[in-house]
Structure 1
Amino acid sequence: MKLNQILSIVNQVEKAKFISTLDRLCSDAAKNNNKLAQTIDNIDGQIKNASGSEITQLFSTVKEFFKTSIKEQILMGSAQLNLLLNILSRDGNGVARIVWIESLYAREWEDIEGLSKELKEAIQLGSKEVSFNRNHTLKIYHSCMKEAYFNDQKNNRDAKITDDERSILNVLANELNLTTDECAAIEHLVDPIPKSEVLDALNSLRDMGILFISKKRQEVFIPDEIVAVLNEIQGKDLADKYVLRILRTLTDAELSNVLKAHGRKIRGVSRADKIQTIIHSGLGAEKLLFEDMHSIDDALNQKKERLKQLIQDLEIEVEKLGATLDERISLILQSLAGATEKEFDSLSASGFKQLLNTLEKHFPDIQNLLKSSFELETNEVIDTEKLRALSITPHDILYLLSNDEVKEVRDNMGLPKRGNTRFVILESFANATEKLIENYDVLARRDVNKLKEVGADVSESDIGVKFEEVTKAIFETLELNVDEDLRKDLNTAKDKADIVVSLGDNDIIIGEAKTCKNGDFAKYSTTSRQVKAYVTRAENQGKRVAQVLIIAPSFSDDFIESAEMDTEVNISLLEAHGLKLIFDAYKSKRNPSFAPKLLTKGGLLKAELIAKNI
C-alpha cells in the first residue's frame, strides 16, 4: 500500500512517530536544499499540518537521508529486528494484523532454529576437515561472525556487529556462495534471536518511523516506498515475486545449476521444491542471472543468447537488447523492478476482478495458493481490492501457477495456444473490458440481446455490477485516482458508494453508476437519499466531498431539475454516451490531459464541451 493511502487510514497519533522522523530529516536536509526549504515554508514549517500528498512528496525528497538513518538504527538494533524486517518487507506482508505477524515470526523463528542446528553439525564436521568443502566454508563464516560480534567485549563494549563489519561479512558470504537464510541461521548461533516479544519489536520499528500500527484495526502497515528502501538496505535487487517469474522460465537443468552452485540437494527434488528452495534462500537475482543458472562450461556467448531468450520469455519490451551480459541482466532487473504500476494499468479493475473469478472457476485452489505464496491469513477472503493494497498484480497471480497449470487454465478457457500462455490469458480479459467500453451505452441501457450480438455475453443479473466496473475502468484510463481502499473504508453494510475518486489531500468525488432498461433514469428521491448518506459518512471521516457524480444512460427532466435545485449537496449528472465521448476524445489525443474539475460543474454536464477541452 502506498504511503499516501496509509496516511489517510491512520490517525494523527498513529502517524506521529513517522512525522517526527520526517520532520527531523527535513530539518537537516533543508539546510542544503532550497527547494525542500521552500516546500516546508509553504506548509508554514509545520510538517504535522501537511496533507498526505505533501508528506509523500517530502518523503520522496529526503528518501536517501531516511535510508541512511534507518540503516544505522537497524545495525544498532537486535537480530530480532532484522528477522522482523525480513518478514515485513516480503511480498504480501505490507498490511497485516498484529497476531498474524506474530504467527509468521514464530514460523520463521522455527525455520531458522532448525537450519541453525543443521549448520552447527556441518560446522563441527568442518572443524575436523582439511579440504576446502562446504562444511569448511560454513566453519570459516561462523568463525568470522563470532569474531565480528564478540570483539567489542575485548574493549569493554557491548557485543554487536558494526556497519563496516557487516559489509565485510556480506562480501565474505558472497565469495563463499552462502545464501541469505544460511547467513541468518549462522548469526542465530552467535547472537540468538528471541522467540517472543514481537509486539515490543514492532513498536521499536514504529518509533524509527519504518511502519505504522493502527490500534483500532490491530494492524501493521508498512508503505511500498519504505519496503523499497528496506530491500536496498538488505541488498535485494528484486522482490521475491519477480525472482519467481524468472525461475518459472528456467529449465529443470538450470534450476539444478542454481542449487548445485550453493551446495543444495538436487537428486529426487521436484521442480516445485527446487523453485521454493531457491526463493526461500534469498539468492540475489543478478548473481543468479550472471552465473548460477548457467552450466560451468557455458561460454560467454551462450550466456548472452540464453538471456536474450529469457527476455523474450518474460515478454520484456526493449528498444535495444544490449550487447554485453551485464547490459542484458540490467535490462531484466530494471524492467521487472518497475513493472507493478504498468501491470496494474494493463488490466482494468473490472478485468482484474474477472480474471480472479475465472481462475477460481478453472483453478479452485487459487485462494489457498495466494495465501500460501504471499503469507496471507488462512481465514481471509482474498479479493482484488486486497490484492491491489498489497501491490499484487494480475501478472503476479498467473506466475504463481506452474507452466503446466497455466496451460490447463488457457485450454479450459478455449484460448489460442500460440504465444506466451500467461499473456494470452491477460489479453483475453483486457479485450473483454474493451468490448464492454465500446458498447458502454448499450450496457447502461441493459440491452442483453445487443450485448450478445457484439460478443459481450453478460447475464442480466450481472449488468449493474459490470456497468460499475467498466465505469471505473474508463475513469482509470482518464487517469483519475479511483480509490478502492478509501471506498472500502467509507462503505458500510447499509451504505455502499459505487465509486470514490481521490482528488488529493482530503478532497473526493463520490460516483454512482445507474443502469436503466426503459426510458430515462427518474428515481431522484431514492438516489439523493443514497448519495447524501455517503456524503455524510465521508465528511464524518474528515473528507471533503467536492462533488457527487451520477452516471446513467439518460435523465428525466424532473431528475435534472431536482439535482440542479438541491441545496444540500453538489450533484453533477453525466450521460453514459457522454462519458464514452469523453473517453474516445482522450484516447485519440497524443498527449491528452483531463482535469477532474471538469466533472464538478454541477447539473447536467455537457460532454461535447468537455471532450473539446481534453
Structure 2
Amino acid sequence: MKLSNILASVNQVEKSKFINALDRVCNEAMTHDKELAKRVQKLDGQIKNASSGEIVQLFKLVLPYFEKSVKEQLAMLGVQASLLTNIVSRDGNSIARMSWLETLYLKEWGEIDRLSKEINNQFEEEDQQTDYLSEIRRLDIYHACLREAYFNDEAHNRDAKITDDERGILNILASKLDITAEFKNAIEHLVNQIPQNGVMDCLNAMRELGIVFVRRKDHLVFIADEVVAMLNRILGKDLADKHVLRILRTLSDAELSNILKAHDKRIRGIERKDKIKTIIAMGLKSHHMLKEDLCPSDSGLNERKERLKLLIEDLSLDLEKIGTTLDERADLIISCLNNSAEFEFNALSATGFKEMFASLQQHFPELNTMLQTEFEIEDNEALDVDKLRALSITPYDILYVLTNDEVKAVRDSMGLSKRGNPRLMILESFADATDRLIENYAALAQRDLAALKAENIEITEAEIGVKFEEVTKAIFEQLGLEVDEDLRRSINTAKDKVDILLSLSDDDVIIGEAKTCKNGDFAKYSTTSRQVKAYVNRCENAGKRVAQVLIVAPSFSDDFVESAEMDTEVNISLLEARGLKQILDAYKNRRNPKFSAKLFTKGGLLKTDLIAKNI
C-alpha cells in the first residue's frame, strides 16, 4: 500500500510516530540541505501541520537522510530488529496483524535455530584435513571473522556489537566465500543469539523509527511500499522474492541446476519445485545470479548476453533498449521488474482482474491457500482482488505462483493459442473481455440483457450493477486517470461504500458513483445525494479534499439535473454513459490526446460533445 493511502487509513495519533521520525531527520538535514529547508519553510516550519500529500512529498525529498538514519538505528536495535525487518519487508506482509507477524517471527526463528545447531555440529565434527574450499570450512572462516567483529569491543571495555564498517567488511567476505543469506543468519545466531521473545517491543521500536504504522483498533501493522523498497536496499536485496520466483519459473531445469551447482548445492534427484524453493531461500543477489550462475561455468560472454536477451523476451519485459553489455542487461531486467507494479495493475481493468482471479479459483480451488502460503498471508484472511491489490500483488504475480504446467493447463482449457507466453495469453484474454463490455457500455448502463447477449456477453441481471461500476473504472483508466483502489478500500466501511475514487493529487480526489437504470431516466436524487455526502465526509475525515462528485448514469431526469445544480452542500457533475463512451472514443482516435480530470469538475450535466471535441 502506498504511503499516501496508509496516511488516509490511520488516525493522527497513529501517524505521529512517523511524523516525529520524519521531523527529527528533517531538523538534522536542513542544516546543510537548502532545498529541504525551503520545503519545510513552506509548511510554516511545522511538519505536524502538513497535509498527507505534503508529508509524502517531504518523505520523497528527505528519503536519502531517512534511509541513512533508519539503517544506523536498526543496527543499534540488534539482530532481532534485523530479522523482523526482513519479515515485514517480504511480499504479502505489508498489511498484517501484530499477532501474525509474531507467528512468522517464531517460525523464522525456529528455522534459524535449527540450521545454526546443524552448522555447530558440523564445526565440532570438522576434520583438520577438510578441503580448504569446502562449504563447512568456508562457513568456519566466516564464523571466526564474525565472532571477532562482535566480541572485539569487549577488549576495550565496550558493549559487544558489530559496527556498520565491520558489517560492510563481513558482507564482502560472505560474498567472496559464497555464504548465502540463510547461512549468514544462522552463523550470526551462533555468535549473538537472536532473542525468541520481545517481538512486540521490537515492533514498537520500529514504529518509533517511522518504519511501520500500527492501527490500534484492530492491531494492524502497515508498511508502505516506499518503505519496503528502502528496507530492501538496506538489506542488500536487489529484487523482491516474487520477482526472483518469476525469473526462476522462466528458466529451464538445467539452468536451475547451474545456479545450485555454482553454490555447491545438491542437484541430483531434486525436483524442479524444490530447486526453486532452495534458490529463493539462499537469498542470492539477482544481478550475480543472472550474470554468473545462469549459464554453465565455461560459457562465453556472448552466450551469456544472448541468454539474457532471450530472458527479456520470455519475461515479456517492455524495454526501450536491451543494453549492449552483460551488466547492462542484468541491470535492466532488475530495474524493470522493480518498477513493474503500476504497469501490471494497469494491464487489466478492475473487472478483468476480478474475472481472472475468479476463473483461476475455478481451475484451482486451492488457489487462495497457494497464495497465502507463497505470500505468508494469514490463513483466516479473506482473499479478494481488493486485498491483493492492497498487498501490491499484481495479476502477473498470481500467474507466476502457478507452475508452468499449471498455467499451460489453464491456457488449454480456455482454448487459447499455444504460441507465445501462456501467462501473457491469459492476461490478454481477460483484457479483451473488458474491451467487449466497454464497446457495449450504453447497453450495460441501461441493463439491456438482450442487447448484451446478442453480442455474446454472458451476464446475469444481478451482476450488471457491479460490472457497470468496474467497466466505468476501466474507461477512466484508459483515459489516463488514476483510479485509486487502495484509497477507496481504506475509506470504505460496511455502511458507506464509494464506487470510484479518482486521485487528482496526493490530497485532491473526485468521488464517482456509477448508476444503472432499466427504464427511463435516473431520478433518485435524494437517495443519491445522501450517499455521496456521506462519502464526502469519509474522504475529508481521511485528510482528502473532494474536488467534485461525479455521477455516471444512462440519462438523468430534468428534476435530477435541476436538484444537482442547486445543491449548495456539494459540487456535483452529471455524466451520461453514452457521453463517457463518446469521450473515450475521441481520446483513442487522437494521435496526441490531451485529457484532464478537471473537465469533469464543471458541475451540472456535462456537455460531452464539447469535451470530446476539445480532447
TM range (shorter): over 0.9
Provide the C-alpha distance between the structure 1 equivalents of 2:21 and 2:590, rounded to a whole number of angstroms.
Answer: 43
What is aligned with 2:443? Answer: 442
Secondary structure at 2:109 match in 1: helix
Q: Which amino acid aligns with 1:311?
A: I
Provide the C-alpha distance between the structure 1 equivalents of 2:426 and 2:22, rounded to a whole number of angstroms.
Answer: 43
Q: Superposition pairs for residues 369-388 of structure 1, below 5 Å?
A: 369-388=370-389
Superposed displacement of residue 537, structure 1: 4.4
Superposed displacement of residue 483, structure 1: 2.7
Superposed displacement of residue 194, structure 1: 0.7
Secondary structure at 1:399 match in 2: helix
Is 1:351 the counterpart of 2:370? The answer is: no
Gaps of at least 5 residues in structure 2 are: none
Secondary structure at 2:14 match in 1: coil
Secondary structure at 2:45 match in 1: coil
Superposed displacement of residue 87, structure 1: 0.3
Superposed displacement of residue 613, structure 1: 4.0
What is aligned with 1:101? Answer: 101
Q: Greater CA deviation, 40-49 or 20-29?
A: 20-29
Q: Greater CA deviation, 576-585 or 156-165?
A: 576-585
- Length-normalised TM-score, structure 1: 0.96
Q: Superposition pairs for residues 154-169 of structure 1, below 5 Å?
A: 154-169=155-170
What is aligned with 2:214? Answer: 213
Provide the C-alpha distance between the structure 2 equivalents of 1:495 and 1:229, rounded to a whole number of angstroms.
Answer: 35
Is 1:241 the counterpart of 2:238? The answer is: no
How big is each residue's C-alpha offset from its partner over 1:23-66, in whole Å with a ceiling of 9 and x where there is no partner? 22223333444433322222111111111111111111111111
- Tell me if structure 1 keeps the 8 A contact 2:9–2:491: no
- Tell me if structure 1 keeps the 8 A contact 2:52–2:543: no
Query: Given the superposition, is the C-alpha separation of residues 127 and 63 from structure 1 closer, same or farther in structure 2, using an over 3 Å criterion?
Result: farther
Is 1:170 the counterpart of 2:143? The answer is: no
Q: Percent identity?
A: 61
Query: Given the superposition, is the C-alpha separation of residues 530 and 93 from structure 1 closer, same or farther in structure 2, using an over 3 Å criterion?
Result: same
- Tell me if structure 2 keeps the 8 A contact 1:340–1:393: yes
Secondary structure at 1:492 match in 2: coil
- Tell me if structure 2 keeps the 8 A contact 1:370–1:376: yes
- Tell me if structure 1 keeps the 8 A contact 2:509–2:548: yes
Query: Given the superposition, is the C-alpha separation of residues 201 and 389 from structure 1 closer, same or farther in structure 2, using an over 3 Å criterion?
Result: same
Q: Which amino acid aligns with 2:289?
A: L
- Tell me if structure 1 keeps the 8 A contact 2:8–2:543: no
What is aligned with 1:340? Answer: 341
What is aligned with 1:487? Answer: 488
Q: Which has the higher contact order (CA 8 A, sep 6+)?
A: 2
- Tell me if structure 1 keeps the 8 A contact 2:536–2:546: yes
Is 1:57 the counterpart of 2:57? The answer is: yes
- Tell me if structure 1 keeps the 8 A contact 2:51–2:543: no
Query: Given the superposition, is the C-alpha separation of residues 485 and 327 from structure 1 closer, same or farther in structure 2, using an over 3 Å criterion?
Result: closer
Q: Greater CA deviation, 421-430 or 341-350?
A: 341-350
- Tell me if structure 1 keeps the 8 A contact 2:53–2:507: no
What is aligned with 2:588? Answer: 587
Provide the C-alpha distance between the structure 2 equivalents of 1:34 and 1:588, rounded to a whole number of angstroms.
Answer: 46
Superposed displacement of residue 453, structure 1: 3.1
What is aligned with 1:185? Answer: 186
Q: Which amino acid aligns with 2:121?
A: E
Is 1:71 the counterpart of 2:71? The answer is: yes
Superposed displacement of residue 592, structure 1: 3.8
- Tell me if structure 1 keeps the 8 A contact 2:112–2:185: yes
Query: Given the superposition, is the C-alpha separation of residues 468 and 91 from structure 1 closer, same or farther in structure 2, using an over 3 Å criterion?
Result: same
How big is each residue's C-alpha offset from its partner over 1:407-465, in whole Å with a ceiling of 9 and x where there is no partner? 01111112111110000000111111122112211211122232233343322221111
Q: Greater CA deviation, 206-215 or 83-92?
A: 206-215
Superposed displacement of residue 121, structure 1: 1.8
Superposed displacement of residue 544, structure 1: 4.3
What is aligned with 2:466? Answer: 465
What is aligned with 1:5? Answer: 5
- Tell me if structure 2 keeps the 8 A contact 1:122–1:138: no
Q: Superposition pairs for residues 230-379 of structure 1, below 5 Å?
A: 230-379=231-380
Secondary structure at 2:588 match in 1: helix
- Tell me if structure 2 keeps the 8 A contact 1:480–1:596: yes
Q: Superposition pairs for residues 35-46 of structure 1, below 5 Å?
A: 35-46=35-46
How big is each residue's C-alpha offset from its partner over 1:480-520, in whole Å with a ceiling of 9 and x where there is no partner? 33232333333333332322233445543322111122222
How big is each residue's C-alpha offset from its partner over 1:303-356, in whole Å with a ceiling of 9 and x where there is no partner? 222222211111123333333222221221121111111111111111111111
How big is each residue's C-alpha offset from its partner over 1:162-213, in whole Å with a ceiling of 9 and x where there is no partner? 1111111111111111110110000000000011111100111111111111
Q: Which amino acid aligns with 1:371?
A: Q
Is 1:14 the counterpart of 2:28? The answer is: no
Instruction: Kindly tell me the number of residue pairs found equivalent between the two proteins.
Output: 614
Superposed displacement of residue 541, structure 1: 5.1
Provide the C-alpha distance between the structure 2 equivalents of 1:540 and 1:330, rounded to a whole number of angstroms.
Answer: 43
Flag as ranges the 4+ runs of structure 1 deviating above 6 A: none
What is aligned with 2:603? Answer: 602
Superposed displacement of residue 555, structure 1: 1.1
Q: Superposition pairs for residues 561-580 of structure 1, below 5 Å?
A: 561-580=562-581
Secondary structure at 1:14 match in 2: helix
